[in-house]
Structure 1
Amino acid sequence: MDKGFFKQFERKTGVEMDEVFALARAIQYADFSSEKQVRKIVQKVSKVAKRKVSPQLEEQIVQSILKDGKSLDLSKIERMMR
């Protein structure tokens, strides 16, 4: 992809592309049946999104992902973090 696109993305979101790629790798290789890994991913998403997630909301998100099994519905997580 075009470096200009990445720079524009970084300016608009305030998130460095390295962080986005690291998060994508973590999600790609994660074991979504492992509560520990799911919790780490939720915390990474929160950090990258610059959104505080209360312990209660983190627990809700983690349990929702664990319940749904191997699939990860990012739009569902996004709605929960709003």
Structure 2
Amino acid sequence: MNDSFFRKIESKTGVPMEEVFALANAIQYADFTDERQMRQIIRKVGKLANKDVPQHTEDELVRSILKNGKSVNLTDIQGMLGK
């Protein structure tokens, strides 16, 4: 990918690509059985989406992820947040 592509994304979303890459890396290497890691990722997604994640929603997301025992991606979490 070229640099201008990333600059266009940054200008449209207001999110620095470094933060997007850091989140993607965190998700890729996350332990989806670790509640603390899941909460950190959910909070990061909420922050990047500029959306407040109420405690009860965070709790539901964590329970769902831990129950399913599978990895999730950014799209899954955004969908759960109703974005």
With normalisation by structure 2, the TM-score equals 0.90
Cα pair distance change 1:19/1:29, threshold 3 Å: same
Moved over 6 A (4+): none
Identify the residue that residue 56 of structure 1 maps to in structure 2. Answer: 56
% identity of equivalent residues: 52
Secondary structure at 1:72's aligned position in 2? coil
Unaligned ranges ≥5, structure 2: none
CA contact 2:10–2:17 (8 Å) conserved in 1 = yes
Task: Give the AA of the match of 1:68.
Answer: N
1:41 aligns with 2:41: yes
Give the deviation of 1:73 after TM superposition: 5.0
Give the deviation of 1:74 after TM superposition: 4.0
Please list, as runs of the form range in 1=range in 2, the aligned pairs for 1:1-80 lying within 5 A after superposition.
Answer: 1-80=1-80
Secondary structure at 2:21's aligned position in 1? helix
Task: Give the AA of the match of 2:32.
Answer: F
Superimposed CA distance per residue, residues 8-63 of structure 1 (whole angstroms, 9 cap, x where no aligned partner): 00011111000000001111111000101111111111111111100010111111
Query: Over aligned residue pairs, what C-alpha RMSD do you find?
Result: 1.2
Unaligned ranges ≥5, structure 1: none
Cα pair distance change 1:17/1:75, threshold 3 Å: closer
Task: Give the AA of the match of 1:35.
Answer: E
Task: Give the AA of the match of 2:81.
Answer: M
With normalisation by structure 1, the TM-score equals 0.91
